[in-house]
């Protein structure tokens, strides 16, 4: 089963996204910030996709993405965030982010894109 | 004066022994965007200790139930709530022979026939900040939509936004978020009581494995994400990355007194407040209220306010996956 990592400092968001993905037959792991997310990405070869917040303590999402890229990892990453400003999106693009979702998470609208990325 | 400012209201406590004068005060309040709330003199200090959201207090000198009448009551109110403007209706010429220090407890002393002279003082002490209409409407819309995302099968009512000079904290928990833009710098707060919050929260947002002892942490997290999404939405609409932030380096200590449920931002600036009441549409009709407050204590330049123009990229709706 494809596995997705959800990285967000909010347990509410982690629960919401995990619950939706699980109900769509997708295996899920979670991380609480960029440090935790980076560690899991390095450790777990079964991850097919990362859904990641931007504003998190300890290590923000875009920094995590840049570090993942620096490690040579090619796992697709989607940002799930309240941020929508163009320069932040550009930074994400430059770091190889595949897509951007402005909160609130709309599972029905995003699921086809998510399935495409993990297939 | 800025163009298109929102006509905010403010609640004022009225304690006057004369029914005739009370009615005239109420008429004046009605014409001045003030919502008059009557209070018996014996209850006023208790009311002030609880959460009431006030902009000012109107007292009359001739309150008999308190030794020393309205003057002593006003002095006591000023001692415990110095941020609240107090307007004293005089009943005798002796009022003006009061000690200068005591007179300082009152924002203005007036005669009922001269009540319209209070208008300038009202503007100066209560409605001393103007808020762009687009900002007020936008905050309300963004936060209301955020609440609908978190809470199930509820109606969300929003009271007319208002200003307060109160510094009382409502409820058991609140979030505090620094906010800054080209036109403002200050803080955003969301305050609420825990009761009924979890009962109304959408189940998919709460872990299956949580226990009752986790309740407060779950509620904390819900409030945190509501705050995040509300400010995120406001920032996306009203803070342009093309314009520099305020460049105001000033910071002042924020003081929280838990015993007295009081928060001070080191200023006399008013707070812009939005009260949301969420109520179940059916069943037990449980409800709770949430107070959303803004204080721009460090920088406030509403004439610089502007709304971001949506770009093509913004046509991707919130929640949808925008592929790069």
| B10-125, CATH topology level | Rossmann fold (3.40.50)
Query: Which among A12, A89, A99 is the nearest to B205, CB-wise?
Result: A12
> Quick one: how many helices (H) and strands (E) in chain B?
8, 14
Contact B321 A114 (CB under 8 A): yes
Please name the residues between 43 and 102 in chain A that touch chain B, using a CB distance below 8 Å.
Answer: 55, 78, 81-87, 89, 92-93, 97-102
Three-class secondary structure of residue B130 per DSSP: coil
Beta-carbon contacts of B18 under 8 Å, excluding residues fewer than 6 positions away, are B60, B62
Kindly list the residues from chain A whose CB atom is less than 8 angstroms away from the CB atom of residue B228: 10, 55, 82, 103
Q: Which of B229, B236, B324 sits opposite A99 (nearest CB)?
A: B324
pTM: 0.85
Taken in order of first residue, the domains within chain A and their CATH numbers are 3-118 (3.40.50.2300)
Distance CA B39, CA A117 (A): 63
Please name the residue of chain B whose CA is at the shortest distance from the CA of residue A96. Answer: B324
Q: Mean pLDDT over residues A88-99, rounded? A: 93
CA distance B221 to chain A (A): 6
pLDDT per residue rounded down to tens, chain B (324 residues): 777 888 888 989 999 988 889 999 999 999 999 999 988 888 888 887 765 678 899 999 888 777 778 888 998 888 888 888 999 998 876 555 667 767 788 988 899 999 999 998 888 888 878 899 889 989 999 999 999 999 989 999 998 888 988 888 999 899 999 999 999 999 999 999 998 898 899 887 787 777 777 788 899 999 999 999 999 999 999 998 777 787 788 888 999 999 988 899 988 889 999 999 999 999 899 999 999 999 999 999 999 998 887 665 555 677 778 888
Minimum distance, in Å, between the CA of residue B37 and any CA atom of chain A: 39
Q: Scanning every residue of chain B, which has its alpha carbon at the shortest distance from the alpha carbon of A19?
A: B204
pLDDT tens, position by position, A38-64: 999 999 999 999 999 999 999 999 999
- CATH 3.40.50.2300 maps onto chain B at 10-125
Judge: A10–B319 Cβ closer than 8 Å, yes or no. no
Are A20 and A107 a contacting pair, CB within 8 Å?
yes
Query: What value of ipTM does the predicted structure carry?
Result: 0.89
Which of A39, A83, A113, A17 lies closest to B231, judged by CA? A83
Class of domain B133-310: alpha beta
């Amino acid at each position: 089963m494809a596995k997705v990592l959800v990285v967000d400092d909010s347990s509410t968001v982690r629960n919401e996204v995990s619950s939706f993905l699980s109900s769509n037959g997708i295996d899920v792991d979670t991380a609480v910030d960029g440090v935790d997310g980076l560690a899991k990405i390095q450790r777990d070869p079964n991850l097919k996709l990362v859904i990641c917040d931007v504003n998190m303590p300890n290590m923000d999402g875009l920094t995590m993405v840049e570090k993942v890229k620096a490690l040579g990892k090619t796992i697709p990453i989607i940002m799930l965030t309240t941020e929508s400003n163009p320069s932040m999106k550009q930074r994400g693009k430059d770091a190889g982010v595949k897509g951007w979702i402005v909160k609130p998470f709309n599972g029905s609208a995003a699921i086809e894109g998510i399935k495409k990325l993990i297939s | 004066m800025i163009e298109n400012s929102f006509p905010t209201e403010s609640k004022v406590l009225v304690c006057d022994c004369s029914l005739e004068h009370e009615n005239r005060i109420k008429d004046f309040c009605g014409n001045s965007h003030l919502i008059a709330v009557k209070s018996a003199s014996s209850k006023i200090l208790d009311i002030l200790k609880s959460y009431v959201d006030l902009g000012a207090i109107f007292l009359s000198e001739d309150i008999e139930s308190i030794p020393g009448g309205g003057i002593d009551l006003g002095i006591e109110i000023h001692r415990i709530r110095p941020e609240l403007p107090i307007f004293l209706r005089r009943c005798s010429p002796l009022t003006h022979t009061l000690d200068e220090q005591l007179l300082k407890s009152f924002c203005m002393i007036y005669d009922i026939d001269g009540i319209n002279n209070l208008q300038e003082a009202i503007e100066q002490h209560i409605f001393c900040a103007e808020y762009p209409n687009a900002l007020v409407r936008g905050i309300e819309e963004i936060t209301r939509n955020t609440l609908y995302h978190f809470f199930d099968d509820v109606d969300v009512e929003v009271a007319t936004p208002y200003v307060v000079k109160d510094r009382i904290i409502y409820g058991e928990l609140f979030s505090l978020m620094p906010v800054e833009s080209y036109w403002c710098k200050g803080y955003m707060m969301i305050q609420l009581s825990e009761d009924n919050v979890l009962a109304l929260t959408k189940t998919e947002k709460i872990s299956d494995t949580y226990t009752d002892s986790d309740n407060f942490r779950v509620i904390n997290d819900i409030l945190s994400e509501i705050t995040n999404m509300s400010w995120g939405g406001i920032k996306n609409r009203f803070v342009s990355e093309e314009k520099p932030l305020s460049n105001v380096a000033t910071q002042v200590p924020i003081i929280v007194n838990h015993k007295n449920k009081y928060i001070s931002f080191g200023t006399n600036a008013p707070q812009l407040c939005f009260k949301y009441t969420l109520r179940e549409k059916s069943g037990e009709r449980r409800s709770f209220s949430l107070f959303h407050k803004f204080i721009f204590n460090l920088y406030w330049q509403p004439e610089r306010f502007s709304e971001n123009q949506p770009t093509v990229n913004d046509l991707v709706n919130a929640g949808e996956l925008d592929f790069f």
